[in-house]
C-alpha cells in the first residue's frame, strides 16, 4: 500500500540524505560548487564558466559498461587537465544510492536506469535528465535457478520474488508479472538491494530474481539459470545520464564535454570489442568471458539527446507506478529535462 511506501521509502531516504551529506562533508573533498555561467559555453579548454571548479564528482555503477569505459580510458582526466579540474569517480551498486548522493550534492553527474530518477523526482530531488542511452533491455531478465519447478511467469503466484525497489529491475518485474495477468498482490515481494537480491537468489531465499548483466550473463554462461522473461520482450527501456540541477545549470559546458567524451569512448569501443571486455572485467571484477558473452546481446548503447519519445517513455512509467501507489504523486518528466542554452 502507499502508506507503507511512504514509511519505508521517503522518510528513510530523507534521513539517509542528511547522513550522506554529513559523511560526504567529512570524507569527500572537492564537491562541485556553483560558478558564473558563460554566455558562450565552450567544450574545449579553457572552460571560462567553470574556473572555480576543482573537482567533478561522477557516479558510476559497478555493472554497467558506459561510464566504466570512460573511467578506464581516462579521457576526462586528459581533457580537463589544462583547466586544473580533477575527476573523482564514485562507485555505486545501484541507481537509488546514486540519486541519494546527488541529493546530498556529493555526486554531480552519473548514469542510471529508468526508475531511479523517477523516484528521485517524486521525492523532490533536484535532478535533470541530460542524455539517454539506447535500449538496455537486452541485458535484463527475470530468472529462476535451473532446478526450479517454476516454468512460466503465471506460476509466480504465491512465490517469493526479489524486488530491488527504485531500480529498473523493479519496473522489469512489474511489467513481467502484468504480462501474465498478475499483480504485486499475487506474489510475495521480498524487498532487497541489488547485491542482497543476488545473494538471496543464490542461497535459495527467494524463488525468482529480476536481474541484469553482468550477474545475468555470468549465470547464463555457467548454465545455472532459466529465463522466464527477457527484458527486451516485456519491458523495453533505456538508461539515462542524470545530473544535479545545480551542476547542469551552473556548468553546462562541463556537461557537454562529459557527454562528448562518452560518445568518443563508445565509438572506440565499437571497434575494439575484445579490449572492451577486458577493460570492463577489470572495472567490474568479472571474468572477460562474462563481458564478451554480455556484449553479444548488449551492444554499446550510444548517447542521445532527450527527445519527446524518451520523455513519453518515462512518463508512462510515472503513471504506472503512481497507479499502483508506489510513488506518492504524479508529475511531468519534461519538467526535469535539461535545456542547455545554445
pLDDT digits (tens, 9 = 90+) for 16-69: 433 433 343 333 334 433 333 333 334 444 455 555 799 999 999 877 888 999
Q: Given this model, what pLDDT does residue 50 score?
A: 52
Q: Which three cell numbers stand for residue 70?
A: 570512460
Predicted TM-score (pTM) of the model is 0.81
Identify any residues that bridge with 238 across adjacent strands, giving them in sequence order: 135
Give the residue ranges of the chain where pLDDT is below 50. Answer: 1-46
Taking the C-alpha atoms of residue 93 and residue 219, their distance in angstroms, rounded to an integer, is 18
Taking the C-alpha atoms of residue 59 and residue 71, their distance in angstroms, rounded to an integer, is 10
Residue at grid coordinates 565552450: 42
> What domains lie within the chain, and their CATH numbers?
2-135+237-336 (3.40.190.10), 138-234 (3.40.190.10)
Q: Which three cell numbers stand for residue 169?
A: 529491475
Q: Given this model, what pLDDT does residue 1 score?
A: 36
Q: Residue 163 class from Cβ within 10 Å (0-12 exposed, 13-18 middle, 19+ buried)?
A: buried
Provide the H-helix boundaries in 45-167.
Answer: 66-73, 75-80, 95-103, 116-122
Q: Given this model, what pLDDT does residue 211 score?
A: 96
* Chain centroid offset of residue 49 CA: 28
Q: Given this model, what pLDDT does residue 299 score?
A: 67
What DSSP designation does 37 have? P
Amino acid at each position: 500500500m502507499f502508506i507503507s511506501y511512504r514509511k519505508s521509502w521517503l522518510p528513510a531516504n530523507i534521513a539517509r540524505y542528511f547522513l550522506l551529506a554529513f559523511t560526504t562533508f567529512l570524507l569527500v573533498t572537492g564537491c562541485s560548487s556553483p560558478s558564473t555561467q558563460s554566455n558562450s559555453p565552450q567544450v574545449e579548454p579553457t572552460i571560462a564558466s567553470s574556473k572555480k571548479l576543482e573537482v567533478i564528482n561522477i557516479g558510476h555503477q559497478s555493472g554497467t559498461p558506459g561510464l566504466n569505459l570512460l573511467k578506464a580510458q581516462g579521457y576526462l582526466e586528459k581533457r580537463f587537465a589544462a583547466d586544473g579540474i580533477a575527476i573523482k569517480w564514485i562507485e555505486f551498486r545501484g541507481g537509488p544510492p546514486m540519486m541519494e548522493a546527488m541529493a546530498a550534492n556529493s555526486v554531480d553527474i552519473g548514469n542510471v536506469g529508468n526508475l531511479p530518477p523517477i523516484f528521485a523526482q517524486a521525492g523532490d530531488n533536484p535532478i535533470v535528465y541530460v542524455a539517454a542511452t539506447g535500449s538496455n533491455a537486452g541485458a535484463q531478465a527475470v530468472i529462476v535457478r535451473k532446478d526450479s519447478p517454476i516454468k512460466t511467469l503465471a506460476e509466480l503466484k504465491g512465490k517469493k520474488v526479489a524486488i530491488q525497489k527504485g531500480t529498473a529491475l523493479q519496473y522489469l518485474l512489474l511489467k513481467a508479472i502484468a504480462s501474465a495477468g498478475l499483480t504485486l498482490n499475487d506474489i510475495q515481494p521480498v524487498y532487497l538491494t541489488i547485491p542482497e537480491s543476488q545473494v538471496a537468489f543464490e542461497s535459495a531465499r527467494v524463488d525468482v530474481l529480476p536481474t541484469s548483466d553482468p550477474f545475468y550473463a555470468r549465470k547464463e554462461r555457467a548454465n545455472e539459470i532459466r529465463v522466464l522473461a527477457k527484458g527486451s520482450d516485456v519491458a523495453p527501456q533505456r538508461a539515462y545520464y542524470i545530473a544535479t540541477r545545480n551542476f547542469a545549470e551552473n556548468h553546462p559546458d562541463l556537461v557537454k564535454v562529459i557527454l562528448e567524451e562518452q560518445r568518443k569512448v563508445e565509438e572506440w569501443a565499437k571497434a575494439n570489442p575484445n579490449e572492451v571486455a577486458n577493460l570492463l572485467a577489470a572495472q567490474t571484477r568479472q571474468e572477460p568471458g562474462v563481458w564478451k558473452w554480455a556484449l553479444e546481446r548488449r551492444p554499446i548503447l550510444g548517447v542521445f539527446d532527450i527527445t519527446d519519445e524518451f520523455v513519453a517513455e518515462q512518463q508512462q512509467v510515472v503513471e504506472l507506478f503512481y497507479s499502483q501507489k508506489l510513488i506518492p504523486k504524479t508529475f511531468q518528466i519534461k519538467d526535469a529535462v535539461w535545456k542547455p542554452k545554445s
